[in-house]
Amino acid sequence: MKYILTLLVTTLTLLANIGHLTALKGDAKVHHIDTSISPAKMGMPIQEGDKIITSVNTRAQIILKDDTVITIGSNSTFTFEKYLFNGGKTSTISMKSERGFFRSVTGKIGKIAPERFTVKTSSATIGIRGTDFSVLQTDKVERYVCYRGEIRVTRGDKSIDIDAGKILEFKNQHHKKMFNESQTPKLYDISDITKFSVPNFTQNPATDGFTTPGTTQPL
């Protein structure tokens, strides 16, 4: 009986796992849906509802079951709110970025059910079309960068489509006077990325286990 219960618990745990933390540099905590908190460790399973909070000079990479790759930067908060991968069109990913930086490359769900792949930020919702994109959120600014594919950023009742090679920037209302600019979003070419403080992990090759999202090449 004890063996059966142990097997059942193990099976349920495996089914609850939606991916693994495959690379980590620095310090991070994983806040679980049951309110417990675990120090982030290489290879640890990630479950639905887990919230990852990173410290300064930290980055973490998670690969989900459908091969979606999420890279989280320093001083960031990122939650895996809902995840279902069954190989069909009812597969779903819903994630949330409260602050900081993340980069996402969609896996199988992005191909078979792109309309069911969403990421919420503090002020917008992102929809995708087979995509590699990143978001940076600070007190002063929000920047959405599309490297491949296309993303749609929706704020309230307004949506903006961002093609590959473009950057969408919002200046936050609280800092409007500081910037002397309105809330009208601006679109830039990705060739201007060096003008912004947008982390681009592919610029600095490393040997710490990180991979370029969607590939097996070191960052």
Domains of the chain, start order: 2-201 (2.60.120.1440)
pLDDT of 185 reads 84
pLDDT of 74 reads 96
pLDDT of 152 reads 96
Residue 176 has pLDDT above 60, yes or no: no
Task: Find all residues with CB under 8 Å of 88, minimum gap 6, and list them.
Answer: 112, 113
Give residue-wise pLDDT tens across range 71-105: 999 999 999 999 999 999 999 999 999 999 999 99
How do beta strands 59-64 and 92-105 pair? Answer: unpaired
Of 156 and 42, the structure prediction assigns the larger pLDDT to 42
Q: Please report, as a single letter, which amino acid is at residue 213.
A: P
CB 161: neighbour CB atoms within 10 A? 13
pLDDT of 25 reads 96
Segment 136-160 shows an average pLDDT of 93
Task: Find all residues with CB under 8 Å of 89, minimum gap 6, and list them.
Answer: 112, 113, 116
Q: Which residue, among 96, 61, 97, has the nearest Cα to 81 in the 3D structure? A: 96
User: What pLDDT band is residue 198 in, cutting at 50, 70 and 90?
Assistant: low
Of 199 and 129, the structure prediction assigns the larger pLDDT to 129
The pTM (predicted TM-score) of the whole model is 0.81
